[in-house]
């Protein structure tokens, strides 16, 4: 072995004795380069380059083998540095060790990433299930309850009429309302939106619902286009619940529902001339309205005071 290669081999052996079982590839390249009198030295292991020095090259390269397998490449610059085949042979075992350690670490990182991805996927699935559960809960509350409230009020009126000896002719109408409420419950549980909402849009669907209530006036003459199904569904259920709230808390009050679209987006208003309420009083129904609108990027404003009725305004932006 020539004196330069002997010097480099001795420097490598000394470094390995200090590093033990965990040689650091960039430090090893530094030891080789400095002992060989190179301006720069690099070890290339599994396409990863560990370089000492900033010489631009050209580079003189040697394969590093361990047994019959090439485990890396030794590169020195400038190219005028004499070839170092014996040094490349000495580097075989430590480079094989580094390669194995790097491979093990890569597999560990990939395993950790896969574990995190699986955990994230499980979390997303659980979150999606919770969102679907809450969505079903809101649909039951806002949609089916609308029909049940109407049925309850009709029953109360029928009870009063029967006590006065009349009203039996309204029984078939009540049975029809009961069948409608049952159908809405089944469709909601199955995730099926009202047919008119899907086929004809929110304006037609709300007009169909509002026509069932003599105290409700509906105007959608300024709705000129369709919106994505999630938007129309959210507005549909928000308006239904707002009307429900008015009918429950302001029985007999006149209710005006308006729907319009403009350059802001899809806007809606539900106003009644009932007794109103204090805005400082907690109201869970209003929170439900806001959550439903927010699910499609919309906002809700509620204005009310005792003796002045209640107005619910909302908009889902384009």
Q: Which of 220, 199, 198 lies closest to 211 in space, CA to CA?
A: 220
Which CATH number covers residue 18? 3.30.450
| pTM over 0.75, yes/no | no
Q: Is residue 182 part of a domain?
A: no
Q: Is residue 177 part of a domain?
A: no
Which CATH number covers residue 203? 3.30.565.10
Q: Which of 48, 50, 59, 3 lies closest to 31 in space, CA to CA?
A: 50
Count CB-CB contacts under 10 A for residue 264: 11
Q: Which of 255, 237, 231, 239 lies closest to 316 in space, CA to CA?
A: 231
Q: What per-residue confidence (pLDDT) applies to 134?
A: 63
Q: Is residue 123 part of a domain?
A: no
Q: What per-residue confidence (pLDDT) applies to 248?
A: 82
Q: What per-residue confidence (pLDDT) applies to 132?
A: 61
Question: Which residues constitute the domain of residue 225?
Answer: 193-318
- End-of-domain residue from the set 90, 118, 145: 90
Q: What per-residue confidence (pLDDT) applies to 191?
A: 53
- End-of-domain residue from the set 56, 74, 90: 90
- End-of-domain residue from the set 90, 121, 156: 90
Q: Is residue 22 part of a domain?
A: yes
In the chain, the number of structural domains is 2
**pLDDT in tens for each of the 318 residues of the chain?**
467 888 888 888 888 888 887 889 999 999 998 888 889 999 999 888 999 998 887 888 889 988 888 999 999 988 767 777 778 888 888 898 888 888 888 888 888 888 887 777 766 765 665 566 566 666 666 666 666 666 666 776 666 667 666 666 666 776 666 666 666 665 555 455 677 888 889 999 999 888 877 789 999 988 888 888 888 888 988 898 888 888 888 888 899 999 999 888 999 999 999 898 888 776 656 777 888 888 888 999 999 888 888 999 999 987
């Amino acid at each position: 072995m020539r004196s330069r290669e002997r010097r480099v081999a001795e420097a490598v052996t000394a470094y390995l004795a200090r590093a033990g079982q965990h040689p650091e590839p960039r430090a090893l390249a530094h030891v080789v380069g400095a002992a060989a009198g190179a301006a720069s030295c690099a070890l290339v292991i599994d396409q990863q380059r560990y370089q000492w020095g900033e010489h631009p090259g050209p580079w003189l390269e040697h394969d590093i083998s361990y047994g019959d397998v090439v485990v890396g490449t030794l590169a020195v610059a400038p190219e005028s540095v004499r070839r170092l085949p014996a040094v490349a042979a000495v580097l075989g075992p430590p480079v094989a060790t580094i390669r194995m350690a790097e491979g093990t670490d890569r597999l560990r990182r990939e395993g950790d990433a896969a574990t995190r991805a699986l955990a994230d996927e499980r979390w997303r699935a659980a979150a999606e299930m919770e969102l679907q559960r809450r969505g079903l809960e809101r649909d039951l509350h806002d949609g089916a309850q609308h029909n049940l409230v109407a049925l309850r009020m009709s029953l109360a009126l029928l009870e009063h009429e029967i006590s006065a000896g009349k009203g039996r002719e309204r029984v078939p109408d009540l049975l029809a309302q009961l069948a409608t409420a049952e159908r809405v419950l089944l469709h909601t549980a199955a995730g099926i939106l009202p047919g008119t909402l899907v086929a004809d849009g929110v304006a037609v669907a709300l007009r169909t619902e509002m026509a069932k209530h003599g105290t409700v006036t509906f105007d959608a003459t300024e709705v000129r286009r369709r919106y994505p199904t999630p938007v129309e569904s959210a507005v549909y259920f928000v308006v239904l619940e707002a009307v429900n709230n008015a009918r429950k808390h302001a029985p007999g009050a006149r209710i005006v529902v308006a729907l319009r679209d403009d350059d802001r987006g899809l806007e809606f208003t539900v106003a009644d001339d009932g007794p109103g309420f204090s805005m400082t009083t907690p109201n869970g129904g209003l929170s439900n309205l806001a959550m439903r609108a927010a699910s499609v990027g919309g906002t809700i404003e509620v204005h009310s005071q005792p003796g002045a009725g209640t107005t619910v305004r909302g908009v889902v932006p384009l």
